[in-house]
């Protein structure tokens, strides 16, 4: 047995035969041509066909993995239109009187080398892309369709690197895992693999002679085992069986309604921190997104994310969810989520301090930027806006005033948006006590049990020393949940739970009996909770 370690791009276990990726790269010969203009024309015709092909791949990827990941094929189309790239090819043909294949291959190699030498990770990853587009044109010029990679049985696919177009063209049902010797965890291939839910490793020094050998890919530790011994094989078979059990549960419940035996329907939604999590939400068949913690966009950035950056993220999520409800919570920083560039003062009691809506109502420009992005994105799907850490009626009224200013401005500039439902998080005891008044102002409530427990029981949720006092099952919290549901329903306001307690299987039945309308949780909990609900009377 041999074992090789690299970096994990996506988790999971795969056991099976290894196949080395057959590259479509042609041996390109340098040939003399008499008529340079005719050769340039031949190049442009091949390039145009390649662009059409890429459009087809874009459409396919859009359906399979969503806009963000499909965008790479738009980038490839743009790269093929790039003036520098085209000038270089035309120049080589004209000055050296050589065939288009040779000019494309040389240009592709030169550009790839330049990208590979760059400091920036993103630019380095573009090296594979420029090779990819050049290969595509060369394949067309030489009249080939490419050998393709057709497997009769599912395989662990090993390659030096994988171009995004190669990844998307593969028959996914025949690929157990991707292992590349090069590549980065940021490459589009890695991202695509992740979204396709196939274990993927990069930068693994797998030798060249592995074709047909037995292999194990451990996407948790980033290890590949070649010709595994009995013990290793048994260990991984057991781990894989456990995964399969989970998957069987998924398969059995996917596509089914979340409904009790007596016919009560519950909205079972997923919680996300960013665009990258939407794949999990879809994979676990959530009916919507009940909490998009938008502050992660701010936490991942070195400066305030622009309106455009936020718009893109919200729009992508809305589009990927294809008309399903997406509740986006406005910025909730402060307390445990500190961001340097906000330059917030040090506070003795940050959990009781300047956080969430309090920051937004103080720094209205930051709030407005986010609201503009949210309203603009609303035109592309079914977005709801949710306000965090509400304790008073005036905070909601003031927020709604600001929202109106944003809408008026968008209307004045004829920028489309929808009449977005507005909700509040119920995560402070004050909000519970005034839930009737709040319900008159909003379309929905979502109970944040993490903070509600903290504030009800006067227990800092970050303080490990008092962890044993943190009891989300405390009767006070459960009563508050009941009070919130009742108040909401008195005013036709739907009520959900998006804190961790929403996924607690020991309470699912209790919540449903209390009258909860929606439960939002981390995607992996969705199907197990659906199972409980479907078995309930």
* Site residues (vs Mg ion, CB under 5 A): 427, 448, 451
First to last CA, the chain: 53
Q: In this chain, which of 186, 237, 450, 482 binds ligand PEP, going by CB under 6 A? A: 450
Stretch that binds ligand PEP, among 20-28, 218-226, 393-401, 442-450 (CB under 6 A): 442-450
Q: In angstroms, what is the minimal distance from the CB of 332 to ligand PEP?
A: 6
List binders of ligand PEP among 411-430 (CB under 6 A). Answer: 427
Q: In angstroms, what is the minimal distance from the CB of 353 to ligand PEP?
A: 14
Alpha-carbon gap, residue 271 to 111, rounded angstroms: 41
The residue among 92 and 333 lying less far from Mg ion, judged by its C-beta, is: 333
Alpha-carbon gap, residue 453 to 460, rounded angstroms: 9
CA distances from 415 to 372, 378, 455 (A): 10, 11, 40
Alpha-carbon gap, residue 313 to 461, rounded angstroms: 29
- Has 44 been annotated as catalytic? no
Question: How many other C-beta atoms lie within 10 A of the C-beta of residue 237?
Answer: 14
The residue among 53 and 384 lying less far from ligand PEP, judged by its C-beta, is: 384
Q: In this chain, which of 293, 312, 324, 376 binds ligand PEP, going by CB under 6 A? A: 293
Report helix angle 67-81 to 188-196, nearest 10: 150
Instruction: Give which of ligand PEP, Mg ion, none residue 199 binds (C-beta under 5 to 8 Å, depending on kind).
Output: none
Q: In this chain, which of 498, 503, 516, 529 binds ligand PEP, going by CB under 6 A? A: 498
Q: In angstroms, what is the minimal distance from the CB of 349 to ligand PEP?
A: 16
The residue among 33 and 495 lying less far from Mg ion, judged by its C-beta, is: 495
- Beta carbons within 8 Å of 513's beta carbon, 6+ residues apart: none
Tell me the helices (H) and strands (E) count for the chain, helix number first. Answer: 20, 16
Alpha-carbon gap, residue 307 to 297, rounded angstroms: 11
Q: Residue 374: left (phi > 0), alpha (psi -120 to 50), or beta? A: alpha
Q: In angstroms, what is the minimal distance from the CB of 358 to ligand PEP?
A: 14
Question: How many other C-beta atoms lie within 10 A of the C-beta of residue 323?
Answer: 11
Instruction: Give which of ligand PEP, Mg ion, none residue 177 binds (C-beta under 5 to 8 Å, depending on kind).
Output: none
Give the single-character DSSP code of 23.
P
Q: Is 480 in the site for ligand PEP (CB under 6 A)?
A: no
Q: Is 67 in the site for ligand PEP (CB under 6 A)?
A: no
The residue among 314 and 417 lying less far from ligand PEP, judged by its C-beta, is: 314
Q: In this chain, which of 270, 429, 472, 499 binds ligand PEP, going by CB under 6 A? A: 499
Instruction: Give which of ligand PEP, Mg ion, none residue 449 binds (C-beta under 5 to 8 Å, depending on kind).
Output: ligand PEP
**Which residue matches tokens 């008026």?**
408
- Has 474 been annotated as catalytic? no
């Amino acid at each position: 047995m041999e074992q090789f370690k690299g970096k994990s791009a996506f988790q999971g276990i795969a056991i099976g035969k290894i196949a080395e990726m057959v590259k479509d790269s042609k041996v390109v010969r340098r040939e003399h041509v008499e008529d340079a203009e005719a050769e340039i024309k031949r190049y442009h015709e091949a390039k145009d066909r390649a662009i059409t092909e890429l459009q087809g791949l874009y459409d396919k990827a859009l359906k399979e993995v969503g806009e963000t990941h499909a965008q790479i094929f738009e980038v490839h189309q743009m790269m093929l239109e790039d003036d520098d790239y085209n000038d270089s090819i035309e120049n080589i043909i004209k000055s050296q009187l050589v065939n288009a294949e040779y000019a494309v291959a040389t240009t592709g190699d030169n550009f790839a080398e330049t990208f590979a030498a760059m400091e920036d990770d993103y630019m380095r990853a573009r090296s594979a892309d420029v090779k990819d587009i050049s290969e595509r044109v060369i394949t067309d010029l030489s009249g080939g369709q490419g050998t393709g990679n057709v497997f009769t049985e599912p395989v662990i696919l090993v390659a030096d690197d994988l171009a995004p177009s190669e990844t998307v063209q593969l028959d996914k049902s025949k690929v157990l895992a991707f292992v590349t010797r090069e590549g980065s965890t940021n490459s589009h291939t890695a991202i695509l693999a992740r979204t396709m839910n196939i274990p993927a490793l990069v930068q693994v020094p797998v030798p060249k002679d592995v074709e047909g050998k037995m292999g194990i890919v451990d996407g948790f530790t980033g290890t590949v085992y070649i010709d595994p011994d009995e013990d290793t094989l048994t260990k991984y078979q057991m781990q894989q069986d456990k995964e399969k059990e989970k998957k069987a549960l998924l398969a059995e419940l996917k596509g089914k309604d979340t409904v009790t035996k007596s016919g009560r329907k519950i909205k079972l939604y997923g919680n996300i921190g960013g665009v990258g999590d939407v794949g999990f939400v879809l994979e676990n068949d959530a009916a919507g997104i009940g909490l998009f913690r938008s502050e992660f966009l701010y936490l991942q950035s070195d400066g305030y994310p622009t309106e455009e950056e936020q718009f893109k993220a919200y729009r992508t999520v809305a589009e990927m969810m294809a008309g399903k409800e997406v509740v986006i919570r406005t910025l909730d920083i402060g307390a445990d989520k500190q961001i340097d560039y906000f330059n917030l003062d040090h506070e003795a009691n940050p959990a009781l301090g300047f956080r969430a809506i309090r920051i937004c109502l103080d720094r209205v420009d930051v709030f407005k930027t986010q609201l503009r992005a949210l309203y603009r994105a609303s035109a592309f799907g079914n977005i709801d806006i949710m306000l965090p850490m509400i304790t008073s009626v005036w905070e909601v009224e003031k927020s709604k005033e600001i929202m109106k200013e944003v809408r008026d401005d968008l209307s004045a500039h004829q920028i489309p948006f929808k009449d977005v439902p507005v909700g509040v998080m119920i995560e402070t005891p004050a909000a519970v006590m005034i839930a009737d008044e709040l319900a008159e102002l909003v379309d929905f409530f979502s109970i944040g049990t993490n903070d509600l427990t903290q504030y009800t029981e006067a227990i800092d949720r970050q303080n490990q020393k008092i962890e044993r006092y943190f009891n989300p099952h405390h009767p006070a919290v459960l009563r508050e949940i009941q009070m919130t549901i009742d108040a909401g329903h008195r005013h036709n306001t739907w009520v959900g739970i998006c804190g961790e307690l929403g996924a607690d299987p020991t309470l699912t039945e209790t919540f449903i009996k209390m009258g909860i309308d929606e439960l939002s949780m981390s995607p992996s909990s969705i199907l197990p909770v659906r199972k409980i609900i479907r078995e309930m009377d």
